[in-house]
Amino acid sequence: MLIGSSENLTAALLSIPMELERTRASLEAGLSEFHNGTRLEGARALTAADRKLAWGGKGRLVGWSVRAVDGPVTVVLRNGRDEGGEPLAVIDLVDTESDTQWIGPTGVFFGEALYLDRTGAGRLEGAVWIGAVD
C-alpha cells in the first residue's frame, strides 16, 4: 500500500509543471486585449494632436512621445473625463521642443479615463501610449 501511495505522489508531483503552464496560459489569455481580431502585445499609441479625451475607460499610461508645434504648449495628463481629473503627469514644452518618456510596462493606472488638458498657444503633435493589458 505504501508503494501505491508513493506512485500516486510521484505522479501528482510530475503533473505540477503542466498544471502551472495551463494556469499561466489561462491568465495570459484572460489579461490579453484584442483589437480587430488581433491580440495586442505592446502599448497602444493614441494620437495626442486634436483629442482631449485620449481614452474613455480605465487603463495604464505607459509613456508618450510628443512635440510642440506653432508655439509653447503645456499638457496635464489627467485621470478623468475633464479638467477636474486627478493629474498623472505634466508635459511642458516650448515651440518645437519634444519629449519622449517610457514609464515602464506596468505604467501608471488611471481608473476613469485619460484626459489631455492642454494650454498654450501651440499645438501638440505625437502620441500617448496606453498599456495593452488594462
pLDDT tens string, the chain, 134 residues long: the values are 455 577 888 887 888 888 878 776 665 554 555 555 655 566 777 777 667 988 888 889 999 999 999 999 999 999 999 999 999 999 999 999 999 999 987 889 999 999 999 999 999 999 999 886 54
Q: What is the residue range of 124's domain? A: 43-130
- Reading the block at residue 103, the C-alpha cell is 514609464
- Reading the block at residue 41, the C-alpha cell is 502585445
Alpha helices, DSSP H, located in the chain: 2-31
Question: Considering the entire predicted model, what is its pTM?
Answer: 0.67
In a domain, 14, yes or no: yes
Nearest CA among 43, 112, 129, 114 for reference residue 76: 114
Is there a single domain that holds both residue 66 and residue 92? yes
C-alpha of 56 from chain center: 13
Q: What gap in Å lies between CA 97 and CA 69, rounded to an integer?
A: 8
Is there a single domain that holds both residue 70 and residue 15? no
The domain tally of the chain equals: 2
- Reading the block at residue 87, the C-alpha cell is 493629474
CATH code, domain carrying 122: 2.60.120
